[in-house]
Structure 1
Amino acid sequence: MPILGSIIKQAITIRGRIPARKNIQKQQLKQLNKLLSKAQFTSFGEQYSFSEILLSEDPIKGFKKTVPIFDYQSIFELWWYRALQGEKDVCWPGKINYFALSSGTSESASKHIPVTKDMIKAIQKGTIKQILSTKHFDFSEEQYETEALFVGGSTNLNYNGTYFSGDLSGITTGTQPRWFQNFSLPGPEIRSQTNWEKKLEDLVLNAKKWNVGFICGVPAWIQILFERIIKHYNVQTIHDVWPNLAVFVHGGVSVQPYKNSINALCAKQLIYLDTYMASEGFIAYQERPNEQQSMKLMTDNSMFFEFIPFNEENFDSDGNVKPNATAIDITEVKLNQDYALLITNCAGAWRYLIGDTVKFTDLKRCEIIVTGRTKHFLSLCGEHLSVDNMNRAIKLTAKDLDLNVNEYCVVGKPNKGLFAHHWYIGTDKQADAGALKEKLDNYLKELNDDYATERKHALNDVIITLLPNQTFIDFLASKNKLGGQSKFPRVLKGKQLNEWLAFLEKNKK
């Protein structure tokens, strides 16, 4: 009898009965006051009069009126660069010892996102919340006795004499409490491996030693790991090696384009749990089973949220926020509207445009889905196509044509005096580009009325280029972005587009 599993399940069930605080507005006001109070004597806090905001009648209103909206470029050039040089008390009390490296999906150069002890604690708290939420999924006692495999960045961080830098997953894994490390895989040696190919090899060689029931990581790399394990052990499915594997906790990108491929590698259906973990912190997690995999926004975990309606009044055609953009708080949001997410966190991000767009699916539960990136909406002529639209259309098309489409990207371009969308689609099966184009185009028309309208007018063509899935992985490898939190951008523009086209030309067969 799984005694330990029984104890863990009972503990999670009992803890889950403790009623959660329902008033989201009060939660958010409390978080903002805590953040302002802690940072009021930093350079940033003194510049923007945090002490006065705290004493005001309406701190949220005062905060929005006094502190401007920042994107990465503006906050780094004005403030974060000082913390990077080792200066204390810039945007958060003390010295920043860790910086998460993030290429985002819009710029090629690495961003340096500050990570503090307070943020690491908040991430740990969020992780515990997600573990406690498993009571809603009714896992067996035996499931709680299996092991959790985390496939993330290296814990072997870079140190330049002033700060450590690396993937957020490497920073947080390396700073986990000892009790938590005892329940997770792999061991310290594999976790610290910086060579992604060597890490994959080590994971494969050790796979049969482990009783993996939960696996966590970015979908593309989990799929590659499954494929290599199956090939190495000459078995049919991943469940021939890990019979108790039941749960895939994923994040970074939508799992939708990968589901068919991952399911094909399994003997039984996995439970997919979505998480919203960014370099700026743990934002949301999937608390309960639901078809959309909507995630609960963590409104009581050292983060204050604002939302900018993602429309032409607030953003220009390149996805840049306009100077007079209007941000609303969580009490003003509406269902099924795209919002650019602004965060204020416990690491010195203040009214920070994270670059993601979200949509609320349940206001009472405060549940969201991530719909795309502010700079990854295609709208050459008013079609307003989101990454969420693209993912859904790709999934439906692939299912109809029995294809495994793992990676894709889209480029907007001039075409015969009007415009076209050029899709680069990864598949390892023979496919009819004409049939794929027709189905994809029709699904996009069903999903997006603006797209359907523009296909009759200014958007005069859809162009399809089929490529092996490996081409997308090879491109990431050429940019030294294999593994960890790296992912292929869905919409290519500017420098990234030029690099992609040059790569395809160089590797043309």
Structure 2
Amino acid sequence: MAIVGSILKRLIDLRDNLVSEPDAQKAQEEVLQKLLKTAKDTEFGKHYNFGAILESVDMRKTFAEKIPYFDYHKLEREWWYKVHNGEENITWPGRPPYFALSSGTTGKSSKRIPVTSEMVEAIRKAGIKQVSALSNFDLPPDFFEKEIMMLGSSTDLQKEGDHHEGEISGISASNIPFWFRGYYKPGEDIAKIEEWDERVQRIAENAKNWDIGALSGIPSWLELMMKKVIEYNNLDNIHDIWPNLQVFTSGGVAFEPYEKSFNALLGHPITVIDTYLASEGFLAFQARPETNAMKLILDNGIYFEFVPFKAEYIKQDGSLVEDAPVISLADVKEDEDYVLLISTVSGAWRYLIGDTIKFTDVSRNEIRITGRTKFFLNVVGSQLSVNKMNDAVQELEENFDIKIPEFTLAAVRIDGEFHHHWYLGTETDISEEKLAEALDESLKKANKNYRVARSKALKGVKVSKVHPEMFPEWNATNKKKGGQVKMEKVMNEEKFAEWEKFVKKNKSKFL
């Protein structure tokens, strides 16, 4: 038995037993109160009279009534532009030491999201909570002695005046505690390499020197990294070089669409643990093995609100209509989709993070990410959400025994009539017509609105097959490789036309 691992496991078990679970409603009220008190003398706090909100009979209700909804663009246009220009005390006291760069899943221009010292500390505390939750999983003591491969963006942050800029994974990795650095791979030198291909090449070259027990990162990029390690070292699977790999921690995206292609790179099954780390904060993590849902972190600098995810509340650009109703944590229901709003210690207020979620267990405050508001395809009334798309693609994988790790689609006009045109990342020989028919039937069965749309304005479904690596190539061209970059699942007609030109130009690379 590994002595050090046993000690670490016992310490984690002990901490888990000593730290009691906070009362959810009380914890959220205390978070909101602290946020308002801390920011009441900022320009934002004075403008919306945080002092009066704090003194009101129902603080949460008054907060919801007085503060409008903000997405990134509205908050940047009205307030954060001042922070970007170097001004202090705008939406949070002082000046943030970091800005998280996020191109998200739409657009070429990066968002610059303030990351305060309080947020860095909140992310650190959330990480400790997640590590403590490992005591709930059936992991052997020697797991706690193994190294952890954290594949995020470069930790070589850019110095810009009085602050640093980089993706949130790079900011987080650059602030890892000293005691964890011995476990952290690929190590500081390799992690600083900006160029994705060079960084992955160095990982492949050094892989034999490491005893990796856990992987952490976005599934699509970890797949590419593992393929490179396997190819470079002439292996059958990743366990040939990392035999003690037992855990994969996914971040910010649903793992199910990648499950089949990801597992094909393994020698045996591993434990998959979901986490929810966004550029705006560490929101949730999977706390127990009986579920794939994640537990919201309710006592750590983030206040949550929820808007029912209905077509009448969502604008075409994915933002909310001004009078969309909002509910607090106390009133959410299981298995209903909600648009997630957060207010944070980085000075984001009633902020539309862009994700939709559903509660799988209200008593445990456990959620699943179900999609993106911008990927709600409703051009002809189909009301097609990302989770319905993912389910349909997974059904294709199961029915035809194929792998489809990535896809994208758009509502396009063909001869004046609307069709859904899907691009599936797959190397199967099954015809595009057969895939289109199966996809269409799956969605008709699962989605009443889609079924009605198909009988009226939505005239057909078209499928085009492309090599799975076309998607990271597209991201590399339009944004960058690696890190937090995710593929957009739904495109507008203009972006889709660019995508099709790109595919046509680059198809020969993958023949």
Task: Report what 2:309 is aligned to.
Answer: 310
**Are the aligned partners of 1:475 and 1:503 in contact in 2 as well (CA < 8 Å)?**
yes
| Per-residue Cα deviation, 1:228-250 (whole angstroms, up to 9, x for no partner) | 11111111111000000011101
The answer on 1:160 being equivalent to 2:168 is no
Task: Report what 1:376 is aligned to.
Answer: 375
- Decide which moves more: 451-460 or 260-269: 451-460
1:448-467 map, 5 Å: 448-467=447-466
Identity across matched positions, percent: 41
Deviation for aligned residue 1:308: 1.0
The answer on 1:354 being equivalent to 2:353 is yes
Deviation for aligned residue 1:172: 1.1
| Per-residue Cα deviation, 1:265-284 (whole angstroms, up to 9, x for no partner) | 11110111111111000011
1:110-121 map, 5 Å: 110-121=110-121
Deviation for aligned residue 1:507: 3.2
The 2-side partners of 1:89 and 1:4 are apart by: 46
1:385-424 map, 5 Å: 385-424=384-423
User: 1:68–1:163: structure 2 CA closer, same or farther, 3 Å change rule?
Assistant: same
- Decide which moves more: 238-247 or 374-383: 374-383
Deviation for aligned residue 1:309: 1.0
Task: Report what 1:51 is aligned to.
Answer: 51
User: 1:165–1:499: structure 2 CA closer, same or farther, 3 Å change rule?
Assistant: farther
Task: Report what 1:325 is aligned to.
Answer: 324
Task: Report what 1:271 is aligned to.
Answer: 271
Compute the TM-score of the two structures, normalised by the length of structure 2. 0.96
2:18 counterpart SS class: coil
2:375 counterpart SS class: coil
Tell me the C-alpha RMSD between the 2 structures. Answer: 1.6
**Are the aligned partners of 1:99 and 1:112 in contact in 2 as well (CA < 8 Å)?**
yes
**Are the aligned partners of 1:410 and 1:491 in contact in 2 as well (CA < 8 Å)?**
yes
Task: Report what 2:17 is aligned to.
Answer: 17
**Are the aligned partners of 1:415 and 1:460 in contact in 2 as well (CA < 8 Å)?**
no
The 2-side partners of 1:362 and 1:382 are apart by: 30
Deviation for aligned residue 1:55: 1.8
Structure 1 counterpart of 2:442, which letter?
Y
1:149 counterpart SS class: strand
Task: Report what 1:94 is aligned to.
Answer: 94
1:289 counterpart SS class: coil
Deviation for aligned residue 1:495: 4.9
Task: Report what 1:137 is aligned to.
Answer: 137
Deviation for aligned residue 1:22: 4.8
The 2-side partners of 1:88 and 1:317 are apart by: 34
**Are the aligned partners of 1:107 and 1:496 in contact in 2 as well (CA < 8 Å)?**
no
Aligned residues: 508
**Are the aligned partners of 1:308 and 1:326 in contact in 2 as well (CA < 8 Å)?**
yes
Structure 1 counterpart of 2:271, which letter?
I
The 2-side partners of 1:329 and 1:252 are apart by: 22
2:321 counterpart SS class: coil
Deviation for aligned residue 1:162: 3.8
Structure 1 counterpart of 2:439, which letter?
L
Task: Report what 1:287 is aligned to.
Answer: 287
Deviation for aligned residue 1:145: 1.2
The 2-side partners of 1:309 and 1:64 are apart by: 15
Task: Report what 1:469 is aligned to.
Answer: 468
**Are the aligned partners of 1:85 and 1:162 in contact in 2 as well (CA < 8 Å)?**
no
**Are the aligned partners of 2:257 and 2:404 in contact in 1 as well (CA < 8 Å)?**
yes
Deviation for aligned residue 1:312: 3.1
Structure 1 counterpart of 2:359, which letter?
F
2:368 counterpart SS class: strand
Task: Report what 2:206 is aligned to.
Answer: 206
**Are the aligned partners of 2:22 and 2:299 in contact in 1 as well (CA < 8 Å)?**
no
Structure 1 counterpart of 2:327, which letter?
I
Segments of structure 1 that go 5 or more residues without pairing to the other structure are none
| Per-residue Cα deviation, 1:163-210 (whole angstroms, up to 9, x for no partner) | 311111111111222112222112110111101111001111111111
The 2-side partners of 1:286 and 1:314 are apart by: 29
Structure 2 counterpart of 1:30, which letter?
E
Task: Report what 1:442 is aligned to.
Answer: 441
**Are the aligned partners of 1:48 and 1:67 in contact in 2 as well (CA < 8 Å)?**
yes
The 2-side partners of 1:93 and 1:455 are apart by: 52
Task: Report what 2:262 is aligned to.
Answer: 262
The answer on 1:345 being equivalent to 2:344 is yes
The answer on 1:503 being equivalent to 2:505 is no
The 1-side partners of 2:507 and 2:270 are apart by: 38
Deviation for aligned residue 1:253: 2.1
**Are the aligned partners of 1:409 and 1:491 in contact in 2 as well (CA < 8 Å)?**
yes
The answer on 1:488 being equivalent to 2:492 is no
1:56-135 map, 5 Å: 56-135=56-135
Deviation for aligned residue 1:87: 1.1
**Are the aligned partners of 2:103 and 2:479 in contact in 1 as well (CA < 8 Å)?**
no
| Per-residue Cα deviation, 1:119-149 (whole angstroms, up to 9, x for no partner) | 0110011111111111111211111111111
User: 1:408–1:301: structure 2 CA closer, same or farther, 3 Å change rule?
Assistant: same
Task: Report what 2:219 is aligned to.
Answer: 219
Structure 2 counterpart of 1:12, which letter?
I
**Are the aligned partners of 2:393 and 2:404 in contact in 1 as well (CA < 8 Å)?**
yes
Structure 2 counterpart of 1:176, which letter?
I
The 2-side partners of 1:386 and 1:102 are apart by: 23
The 1-side partners of 2:367 and 2:250 are apart by: 16
2:20 counterpart SS class: coil
1:507 counterpart SS class: helix
The 2-side partners of 1:479 and 1:314 are apart by: 30
